[in-house]
Amino acid sequence: MSKIYLHPLPIRIWHWLNAFIIFVLIITGLQLRVPSLQILSDYRAVVLIHKYFGYAMCLSFIFWLIYYLVTGGIKKHYLIRIKDIKAMPSQFIYYSFNIFKGRKNPFTPSPNNKFNPLQKLAYSSVMFIFTPIIAITGIMFSDILMFFSWIEAIGGIRVLDAIHVAVAYIFVFYLLVHLYMATLGKRFYTHIKAMITGYEKE
Amino acid sequence: MNILLSILIILCPLLLHASIPNEDCLGCHEKFAEFKHGNTNCSQCHNDISSLPHEDKLKRPLCNTCHGPVVEKYKKSIHSKKNLSCKDCHNTHFTSKDKKNCLSCHKDITHKRLPAAERHLKYMDCLVCHGKTHQGEMLIDINTGKKDIVKKEAIDRDRNGLIDHIEWDNLQSILKKELKGKEEIKKHYLVKIEDSHLITKTPVTCKSCHNEKTVFKKARLTVKGKIALSIPVDINIFIPELPSIEDYRHTVHGKKGIRCADCHISEEAISDDTCIKCHKSIYGIYKDTAHSEKGATQCTDCHNPHHVKSYKDLNVYERVNICVRCHRDYLGKHKWLPNTILHFRYLECTSCHSPGSKKSMLFSFVVRDDDRTRPLQYHDLERVFGKDVKMADMIDTNRDGMVLYDELIDFFNEAKKRLNRELFIKSSIIVTNPYHNYSQKNLKNKVCNECHSEDAPFYESMLISVPEKTNVVYMPIKKTVLSAFPTSIFIDMCLLGEGKIRPREISAIIKANWKDKPRLIDELGFKLIDFIGITIALIILAGIAIHIILRIVVKK
């Protein structure tokens, strides 16, 4: 059994920090949406926590982007190629059927290509489409008056709210799947351990 | 041709009499040695001198020989009519000496009848009111010293290129905090005097500045820090509108037939006793409150009896302004409130500070004229919908007394098309039934969820303000307009914690006929986001559950 070094230290720190930020944003966002939930008693604090954790998420995203732009990780891990699209059905079949039959995962991660085609699709869309959208709409919410003309341009405050919330739901969908799929390693904790130590056992 | 003629007329006397040099005259008239009147010499004005020595008795020189147009204008002025000649103000032989100004003659002028006389006379000279002016402008200069504390974005919060009342108050709040009152605010009232000779009998009226804005048309703010920035300001902040008898007739008091003498029974200022004659019950509530005892002790401290508008006619800005006259640092004191300025655009003070009042969510139509928005008036609608049209019937087409979302869409689209300009629906949360106890303080711990909740009181009273010929009518409007598509897009209100979709709304759609389904779905509008979102999340969770079960089963 060999070990491969999949997740460098900066990315592991980023991942867990980002996970914490997103967890706080989802919880506070949920209370902002449904105030009667009363997760925290002070609604004003919820507004401010959501706002400042939103800024933190923007910074964490910028760190991730710069790190992977400098190290070339975007091209290696996130760029979806034709062969990835062709391999998507077999990866889907593996997760839906073959996994129960104990068959081997058609994809083997390596330090130069650590995500399978479905992971690439999920992570790329989250990182390059949904994170920027939710960050930009969130920043517009942080000072509605300052961004008033922009908000008018996209169709008003209600449309801004709709975009922000719809993308927030997509984050929740993604998170549910992501959390569950993290348990699909050799043992249920294999992938999670890899994100802590950096090494994935083959 | 006219120009040529004028030049000839001016030059004629010069050509005819240029022959006698000044030195020859000064031989006898020594006291005029320092004579100075433009570039003229003696014989150009004393033009009946043809040779020296001249005759003993000379004709009086005529100023209009050269200054024809000015003299013509001057003839219309009050000074001319009072038989004052040019010489009474101008020393003709030494034009730069002994120049007279207004105070030379009007020494003891008191302006007793001018309200706030000291303030008016401090900033403006006589000709602003008594002369003919044009292109008047107000300049407000704020010197922040070397500190560069305010950026343009911080001043013009909504970036509409104009500082309005709230933005001005916000700037005061920033300056107070940052400079602790050391900032210099200078106001300049600048006008171009068209002609100082044309002083008419009657000065401009108060209305010219305060209502019609014909003297000072615009105002501009310049903040001088490290970098100077300059931006237009709403002139009404500095030159407030005044009540007039015409305006009074449109106030609640005026409409109800209350005449001047009903309140002004003597020359003394009116007291609460005058108001109590009609408003006894309100006074009963107000007089024992802490606010009354410590703050505004008289009715007129808050309510200008000449400007009494119906509550329905006051927008949020006007309502906030009543309180702000005393509570000037209201923005600074509400810094704890996230999005302070935004709140004050939609809320009046008493929405929170008078718990006994009834709150409503009020929608009103607003049109945009040349980058400025203003409330839609009845005459705008009368112009496009016909004379004496009843607007309530135009909107509430099924006449059930409730504006439904599709009625609002139809009216909105039709009005927008006919008016041929940008139309919006503005929202606010205001008091529609005031309770005169405004003593509630220190609300920061509990207030958010009173409004940011599905159970907020104003959802029970949703109204739309409809301008009618003689008054403004509040019509009940169905709550679905807030989320329904597309009304919710042209309504500028989206509160955190608004009502979410309820199971009965879903079951109503399921049970409805196929014909009604699209309408019901439209009516749910943006609420569907949560429905779709939660449904997909549940499907995903179900998928995960099945996956887990299969994994366990297969492993066994």
Instruction: Please give the Cα distance from B170 to B178 (Å, whole number).
Output: 12
* Contact criterion met (CB < 8 Å) for A176 and B541: yes
**Interface mutation vs chain A, best among B344, B492, B534, B541, most A CBs within 10 Å:** B492
Q: Is residue B454 within 8 angstroms of chain A, CB to CB?
A: yes
* Amino acid at position B506, single letter: I
Least CB–CB distance from A173: residue in B337, B496, B540:
B540
Q: What is the DSSP letter of B536?
A: H
Rounded to a whole number, what is the distance in angstroms from the first to the last CA of chain A? 6
Q: What is the DSSP letter of B59?
A: P
Residue B195: both structure tokens together: 């002609």
Residue owning tokens 């919060």: B157
State how far residue A144 is from chain B, nearest Cα, in angstroms.
8
Q: Is residue A156 within 8 angstroms of chain B, CB to CB?
A: yes
Q: Which of B386, B394, B352, B347 is nearest to B495 (CA)?
A: B347
Least CB–CB distance from B158: residue in A47, A101, A148:
A148
Task: Please identify among residues 92-131 of chain A the ones whose CB lies closer than 8 Å to any CB of chain B.
Answer: 99-102
Q: Is residue A161 within 8 angstroms of chain B, CB to CB?
A: yes
Q: Render pLDDT for B172-217 as a digit per residue (tens, 0 to 9).
A: 878 887 777 677 788 888 888 777 788 877 788 888 888 888 888 8
Instruction: Please give the Cα distance from B477 to B390 (Å, whole number).
Output: 17
Helices (H) and strands (E) in chain A, counts: 9, 2
Domains (ranges, CATH) in chain A?
A: 3-201 (1.20.950.20)
Q: Render pLDDT for B493-534 as a digit per residue (tens, 0 to 9).
A: 888 888 788 888 888 888 888 888 888 888 888 889 999 999
Residues of A in contact with B488 (CB under 8 A): 158
Sheet holding B228-233, edge to edge: B184-195, B132-143, B216-224, B228-233
Taking CA–CA distances from B551, the nearest residue in chain A reads A100
Taking CA–CA distances from A36, the nearest residue in chain B reads B453
Prediction ipTM score: 0.94
Instruction: Please give the Cα distance from B240 to B252 (Å, whole number).
Output: 20
Alpha carbon distances (Å) from B367 to B371, B373, B375, B392, B423: 10, 5, 6, 18, 5
* Contact criterion met (CB < 8 Å) for B537 and A172: yes
Taking CA–CA distances from A45, the nearest residue in chain B reads B338
Q: Is residue B337 within 8 angstroms of chain A, CB to CB?
A: yes
Q: Does residue B388 have a pLDDT over 50? A: yes
Q: Does residue B540 have a pLDDT over 80? A: yes
- Picking from B56-70, B407-421, B508-522, which range would have the lowest pLDDT averaged per residue? B56-70
Q: Residue A92: its pLDDT value, please?
A: 92
Instruction: Please give the Cα distance from A106 to B341 (Å, whole number).
Output: 57
Taking CA–CA distances from B342, the nearest residue in chain A reads A145
Alpha carbon distances (Å) from B147 to B170, B177, B182: 18, 13, 11
Least CB–CB distance from A162: residue in B339, B497, B526:
B526
Residue A18: both structure tokens together: 């980002």
- Exposure string of B524-533, with b = 16+ CB inside 10 Å and e = fewer, is bbbbbbbeeb
Q: Is residue B151 within 8 angstroms of chain A, CB to CB?
A: no
Least CB–CB distance from B536: residue in A101, A149, A173:
A173
pTM, entire model: 0.74
Q: Is B109 left (phi over 0), alpha (psi -120 to 50) or beta?
A: beta
What are the backbone angles phi and psi of residue B139, rounded to the nearest 5°?
Answer: -120, 130
Report the percentage of chain B scoring pLDDT > 70.
93
Q: Residue B477: its pLDDT value, please?
A: 93
Q: Does residue B440 have a pLDDT over 90? A: no
Residue B537: both structure tokens together: 């999340």
State how far residue A70 is from chain B, nearest Cα, in angstroms.
34
Give every CB contact of residue B203 below 8 A, 6+ residues apart in sequence: B129, B130
Q: Residue B12: its pLDDT value, please?
A: 46
More confident call, B271 vs A181: A181
Q: Does residue A124 have a pLDDT over 90? A: yes
Taking CA–CA distances from B536, the nearest residue in chain A reads A173
Query: How many whole angstroms from its chain centre is CA B35?
Result: 53
Residues of A in contact with B445 (CB under 8 A): 42
